[in-house]
Structure 1
Amino acid sequence: MTLPHPLPALSAVAADYDVLLCDVWGVIHNGRESWPEACDALIRFREQGGQVVLISNSPRPAHDVVDQLDRLGVPRAAWQAFVTSGDATRAELARRAPGPVWIIGPERDWPLYDGLPLDRAEGAADAAFLSVTGPIDDETETPEDYRERLTPAAARDLEMICANPDRIVQRGDRIIYCGGSLADLYEQLGGRVTMAGKPFGPIYALALTEAERLLGRPVDRSRVLCIGDGVVTDVMGANAQALDCLFIAQGIHGDAARGPDGALDPERAAALLTAETTYARYVALELMW
């Protein structure tokens, strides 16, 4: 088991990187409030000449999520560009237009479909494919609430486009289910799933294009650092792109990477990573400068 290097502060390695591809939920906010030290770390990286691209598995287009960041107190000075799974997924939806598409998800995610020439189906019986952003009521529902509804779609071999590969996120002090958990269930039922967000390539292609725009030159991938708290999304995605990764081990994993004294335990962090056959160059409990 290869241990990640404990990183007490981003400043220790900041000079080694030109670009940060930084996760949002679980790194700079928890859905209820932003974390000032994490935001300050991004601001200080930018002040040293670095470029920050936020990369989120939000199923909504980035322009629709910026207001949420503002409400949570994430300073605009902490980032320069923002790409989401929703941005990457819109191309997948457009290729399948006009559908019809059976949409599953809360109304707040409907900006994903703005301007796309899609007909809407009422259920599996009259759909050509499914588009899922997450549970309709993520405060109360679990994937099991969708087993009966998704079974007929899998039986018809309908493809599911999942706009949020995250399985779970932390909202305040609670863990809630996301689109990826419904995609997992659908695959268990024998259904086909396509995703464009992390850990898959399309969202990284968008993020690196934004990085090149900010730099004004081609990206040196050896000088790009991915930051995230999701092992099967952030870390696995960085591995697939051959990019360095800082694993924020406290996010959705709670205290699993802490030792008996409450401090970071690199061996416990490594166990979280190796359980999914992933590796991160660095690990920290939280992002700070």
Structure 2
Amino acid sequence: MFVDLWGCVHDGLRPLPGAVEALQAYRAGGGRVILVTNAPRPRDSVAEQLGRIGVARDAWDDIATSGDSARLALFRGAVGTKVWHLGPPHDAPFFEPPRILDDPAPIELVSLNAAEGIACTGPFDPLADLAVLRPQLLAAKTRGLKLLCANPDIVVDRGEVREWCAGAVAQLYAEMGGESLYFGKPHPPIYDLARRRLAQIADVSDDAILCVGDGVLTDARGAMGEGLDMLFLSGGLAAEETGTVPGGDPDPERLAALVAREQVEPRFAMGTLR
């Protein structure tokens, strides 16, 4: 299984009820679990966070992050070598050169005025109106800077609080006429990385892979684009829209309306991973 993290396994603060146990049981029966997340950080940083919030290590085999996929592009010079970091300071691990690159580009973090490109790991304040970034994004667009988006998610729920993600900034930049580059779900690079992680532990064909996620625009579209089966968890980002109550499953009519409107076709659906 290629399993999304935020909204499926944890809520940013604690594991979701039943999710860790479900993955442990799946692995105990011989299944393999690659966590595929749009977190804008390296794999080791995500693994450390999982341990800190109580996600057991025996619930997963490996991790593929949007951050790792985007870092490979960054250190290959996708947006130049003088880069402005648009994001919170705690995303600093994003700028550590990937170990798998023999000759990484010499990335230097600079001010926007001196930058050749932008690396966006999220807004500076995930709760603020994104309009506060318009002056800086307009200046960047006027100079033709490319924006590398390390997390295509638009929003995420941290506990009960909804926060903006890097994908929302990249979307705004594109709407303003700028060029945004994406590397997480639903785009191919992160799935290529997930397959490489899986291949290191097992030989599994695409028709034996099940994607699990709660994002229609990221998880569902990504799985469909890759030709992979998907289990859509309606109790995450789409809980209100699908009428999914805690511990329950989606209202069939509301779920059908959602997938029809977004033109996605998950093979399976349930409320939460359990």
Question: TM-score, length-normalised on structure 2?
Answer: 0.92
- Structure 1 distance, partners of 2:51, 2:129, is 29
Equivalent residue number for residue 78 of structure 1:
59
Matches within 5 A, 1:50-61: 50-61=31-42
Q: What runs of 5+ residues in structure 1 fail to find an aligned partner? A: 1-19
Q: What runs of 5+ residues in structure 2 fail to find an aligned partner? A: 98-103
Q: Secondary structure at the match of 2:39?
A: coil
Equivalent residue number for residue 88 of structure 1:
69
Matches within 5 A, 1:66-215: 66-96=47-77, 99-115=81-97, 117-123=106-112, 125-138=113-126, 140-215=127-202
Is it true that 1:283 corresponds to 2:269 in the alignment?
yes
CA-to-aligned-CA distance 1:118-140 (integer Å, 9 cap, x gap): 122201x32111110001122x3
CA-to-aligned-CA distance 1:120-167 (integer Å, 9 cap, x gap): 2201x32111110001122x3232121111011112221100000000
Is it true that 1:248 corresponds to 2:233 in the alignment?
yes
Q: Secondary structure at the match of 1:54?
A: strand
On the 8 A contact 1:266/1:283 being kept in 2, the answer is no
Segment drifting more, 23-32 vs 109-118: 109-118
- What is the CA distance between 1:171 and its match in structure 2? 0.5
- Structure 1 distance, partners of 2:122, 2:115, is 18
Q: Percent identity?
A: 39
Equivalent residue number for residue 12 of structure 1:
none
CA-to-aligned-CA distance 1:22-55 (integer Å, 9 cap, x gap): 0000001011111140111111110110100000
Equivalent residue number for residue 17 of structure 1:
none
CA shift in 2, pair 1:263/1:237, >3 Å? closer
CA shift in 2, pair 1:192/1:286, >3 Å? same
Equivalent residue number for residue 7 of structure 1:
none
Q: What is the CA RMSD across the aligned residues, in angstroms? A: 1.5
With a CA cutoff of 8 Å and minimum separation of 6, indicate the structure with the bigger relative contact order.
Answer: 1
Question: TM-score, length-normalised on structure 1?
Answer: 0.88
Equivalent residue number for residue 254 of structure 2:
268
Moved over 6 A (4+): none
- What is the CA distance between 1:77 and its match in structure 2? 0.7
On the 8 A contact 2:235/2:250 being kept in 1, the answer is no
Q: Secondary structure at the match of 2:2?
A: strand
Q: How many matched pairs?
A: 264
Aligned mate of 2:215, from 191, 208, 230: 230
Segment drifting more, 251-260 vs 111-120: 251-260
- What is the CA distance between 1:263 and its match in structure 2? 4.9
On the 8 A contact 1:28/1:35 being kept in 2, the answer is yes
